[in-house]
């Protein structure tokens, strides 16, 4: 929602800005820049110096961080801030340092927050020294004042935290000193070259101190920015700064638009380089390794070994009995055992499942789909199965297609099978869910380095070995983390086409906000463990208590 709001604000702002700017001054700036590309390269080189200074300051506080990785992380964050709303690119700086350089998370966060606060204090200090009256007249000056006070508090608090940590033998951090503050001030001064050159291109003569003032004022305007890159607030504040120096407003707006355009192009280019260099690139650190261990093909199962199909269920009394009665009794001569994992239902889901012939594993409280699938896999693995499959109990998936889903496992062709709705038949799926599924699936395929057509399918099967090895690292859902976990361990993956129909009873638990906030951090942690060769947290794959009940089959 925030991204949509930011994008909308940016689009409206661009339309308004282009109507208010001096078009001839913009054309003049464009012609001057394209006529002398070496000048553009020179400005970009000097501008880079500002970020080198910030990287050096970061290294002074965090000596274990190599300079190249410090600069790359800052550039990645810069690009993120130009693509994401509300300066949400800043966490990418921490992520890059942690994932690529192995810096401890707490040290990376504390040093980043402290240094950004120092940057903000230095910026406000420069503005107050150069032209306090102009700052007072800026749009959002109250917000700037509040932000300055907060930044000063954060800078002091962060410095105290770093000092305490620096006292530890294994600290790896240092307390910010006068050189860090000097680097912050100098970096802002160096950045002013962009505004100075943009003004030259547009035919406006500025002194170095005037360019610094306008640059500082324009950046201050981004304090309250929502739109990506601070589009709108940067232009408003920068134009006000130039107007205070006597520049005609339309021409002033053209200068600031030209400067912001150059900064944006630089940010995207530098961020792209920062993603890839130095090695290892951040893109590689947010994906599974190219080379992974390979698991042996599934062993031929004994003829008497059951195929276990378990159905996670929460308040599915309206549909669970129908699904259970449709489960086939046998698959390729293997008996089928149906288990319903009742995830703390408040209705009579468990009773109806038992009445229909299923075994029931009761969870005392609702833990989430991921927790239910974790328990189902752990339990099924104790039955010495030929294969383990699971699908939702809401009737969206056809239990009659069980043979198709487990066939690659019984044939020894794969350890992990996902039923793909998008390769099969979808009777109905709401448009926003279809697009959401496709976007998430594409993201999963990139991270997994694996062709995936349905990353959120609720109909899957695993071999006994994969069932024992599977680790589901969070309770909310399992789809992405199970796939990444098994692929990281080398278990062979394949897909089969399945049919799908939209549920007619009950409600889906999936909500975009909850899904993203639960799944993305879990995927991030999983990738971190893969990179560090660490197992999942203790208890992620424990076997639930099981009272033997009911018959060996259903349907």
Q: Give the pLDDT of the chain (555 residues) as one tens digit per residue.
A: 444 444 444 444 444 444 556 788 889 989 999 999 999 999 999 999 999 999 999 999 999 999 999 999 999 999 998 888 767 788 899 989 988 888 888 889 888 988 988 888 888 888 878 766 665 665 555 655 666 666 667 767 767 777 776 667 666 788 889 999 999 999 999 999 999 999 999 999 999 989 998 998 888 877 655 655 556 778 888 888 898 889 998 999 899 999 999 999 999 999 999 998 988 887 777 888 887 777 778 888 888 999 999 999 999 999 999 999 999 999 999 999 999 999 999 999 999 999 999 999 999 888 889 999 999 999 999 999 999 999 999 999 999 999 999 999 999 999 999 999 999 998 888 888 888 889 889 999 999 999 999 999 999 999 999 999 999 887 777 888 999 999 999 999 999 999 998 766 555 555 555 666 666 777 777 777 776 665 554 444 444 444 434 334 444
Residue with tokens 């699936």: 441
Indicate if 389 and 512 belong to the same structural domain.
yes
CATH of the domain at 394: 3.90.550.10
Which residues have CB under 8 Å from 520's CB, separation 6+? none
Q: Is residue 300 part of a domain?
A: no
Indicate if 137 and 265 belong to the same structural domain.
yes
Indicate if 269 and 328 belong to the same structural domain.
no
Phi, psi torsion values for 426, nearest 5 degrees: -105, 110
pLDDT at residue 140 in the model = 55
Three-state DSSP class for 321?
A: helix
Q: Is residue 289 part of a domain?
A: no
CA dihedral 146, 152, 158, 159 (to 10 degrees): 180
Indicate if 323 and 370 belong to the same structural domain.
yes
Q: Is residue 555 part of a domain?
A: no
pLDDT at residue 518 in the model = 64
Instruction: Please give the tally of structural domains in the chain.
Output: 2
**Token pair in block for residue 236:** 């408003």
Strand partners, 192: none
In angstroms, how far is the first alpha carbon of the chain from the final one?
A: 45
pLDDT at residue 429 in the model = 85
Indicate if 279 and 391 belong to the same structural domain.
no
pLDDT at residue 251 in the model = 92
Alpha-helix runs per DSSP H in 167-248:
178-201, 208-220, 233-244
CA-wise closest residue to 373 among 260, 233, 480:
480
**536 vs 2: CA distance, rounded Å:** 32
Q: Is residue 315 part of a domain?
A: yes
Phi, psi torsion values for 341, nearest 5 degrees: -95, 100
Indicate if 97 and 219 belong to the same structural domain.
yes
Handedness of CA 37, 40, 46, 47 (dihedral sign): negative
Indicate if 352 and 276 belong to the same structural domain.
no
**193 vs 50: CA distance, rounded Å:** 10
Instruction: Give residue 321's domain range.
Output: 307-532
**Token pair in block for residue 8:** 């909308």
Indicate if 311 and 278 belong to the same structural domain.
no
Q: Is residue 345 part of a domain?
A: yes
What's the distance, CA 518 to chain centroid?
Answer: 11
Q: Is residue 291 part of a domain?
A: no
pTM above 0.75, yes or no: no
Indicate if 217 and 126 belong to the same structural domain.
yes
Indicate if 325 and 200 belong to the same structural domain.
no
Contact assessment for residue 520 and residue 478, using Cβ atoms and an 8 Å cutoff: no
Q: Is residue 242 part of a domain?
A: no
Indicate if 370 and 508 belong to the same structural domain.
yes
Indicate if 263 and 328 belong to the same structural domain.
no
Handedness of CA 68, 73, 76, 82 (dihedral sign): negative
**190 vs 211: CA distance, rounded Å:** 10
**296 vs 68: CA distance, rounded Å:** 41
**365 vs 475: CA distance, rounded Å:** 12
Q: Is residue 241 part of a domain?
A: no
């Amino acid at each position: 929602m925030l991204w949509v709001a930011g994008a909308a604000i940016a689009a409206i702002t661009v339309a308004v800005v282009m109507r208010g700017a001096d078009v001839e001054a913009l054309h003049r700036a464009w012609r001057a820049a394209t006529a002398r590309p070496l000048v553009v390269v020179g400005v970009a080189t000097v501008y880079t110096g500002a970020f080198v200074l910030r990287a050096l300051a970061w290294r002074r506080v965090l000596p274990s961080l190599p300079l190249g990785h410090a600069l790359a992380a800052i550039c990645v964050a810069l690009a993120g801030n130009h693509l994401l709303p509300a300066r949400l690119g800043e966490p990418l700086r921490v992520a890059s340092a942690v994932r690529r350089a192995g810096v401890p998370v707490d040290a990376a966060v504390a040093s980043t927050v402290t240094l950004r606060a120092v940057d903000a204090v230095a910026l406000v200090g420069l503005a107050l020294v150069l032209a306090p009256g102009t700052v007072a007249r800026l749009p959002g000056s109250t917000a700037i004042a509040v932000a300055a006070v907060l930044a000063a508090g954060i800078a002091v608090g962060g410095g105290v935290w770093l000092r305490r940590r620096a006292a530890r033998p294994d600290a790896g951090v240092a307390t910010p000193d006068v050189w860090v503050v000097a680097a912050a001030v100098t970096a802002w001064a160096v950045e002013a070259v962009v505004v100075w050159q943009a003004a030259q291109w547009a035919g406006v003569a500025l002194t170095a101190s005037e360019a610094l003032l306008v640059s500082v004022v324009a950046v201050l305007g981004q304090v309250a920015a929502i739109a990506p890159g601070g589009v709108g607030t940067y232009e408003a504040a920068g134009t006000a700064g130039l107007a205070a120096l006597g520049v005609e407003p339309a021409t002033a707006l053209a200068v600031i638009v030209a400067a912001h355009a150059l900064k944006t192009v630089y940010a995207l280019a530098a961020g792209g380089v920062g993603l890839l260099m130095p090695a290892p690139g951040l893109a590689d650190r947010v994906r599974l390794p190219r080379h992974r261990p390979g698991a042996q093909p599934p062993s031929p199962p004994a003829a008497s070994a059951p195929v276990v199909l378990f159905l996670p269920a929460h308040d599915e009394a309206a549909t669970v009995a129908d699904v259970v009665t449709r489960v086939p009794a046998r698959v390729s001569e293997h008996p089928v055992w149906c288990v319903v994992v009742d995830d703390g239902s408040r209705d009579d889901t468990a009773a109806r499942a038992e009445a229909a012939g299923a075994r029931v594993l009761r969870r005392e409280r609702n833990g989430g789909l991921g927790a239910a699938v974790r328990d189902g896999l752990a339990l099924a693995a104790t039955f010495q199965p030929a294969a383990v499959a699971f699908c939702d109990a809401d009737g969206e998936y056809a239990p009659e297609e069980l043979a198709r889903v487990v066939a690659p496992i019984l044939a020894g062709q794969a350890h992990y099978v996902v039923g793909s709705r998008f390769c099969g038949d979808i009777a109905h799926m709401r448009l926003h869910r279809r697009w959401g599924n496709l976007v998430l699936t594409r993201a999963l395929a990139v991270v997994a380095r694996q062709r995936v057509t349905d990353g959120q399918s609720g109909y899957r099967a695993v071999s006994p070995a994969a069932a024992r090895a599977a680790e589901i690292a969070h309770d909310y859902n399992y789809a992405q983390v199970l796939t990444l976990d098994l692929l990281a361990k080398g278990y062979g993956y394949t897909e089969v086409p399945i049919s799908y129909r939209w549920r007619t009873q009950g409600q889906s638990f999936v909500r975009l906000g909850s899904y993203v906030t639960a799944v993305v951090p879990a995927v991030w942690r999983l990738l971190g463990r893969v990179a560090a060769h660490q197992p999942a947290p203790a208890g992620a794959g424990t076997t639930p208590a099981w009272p033997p009940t009911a018959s060996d089959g259903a349907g």
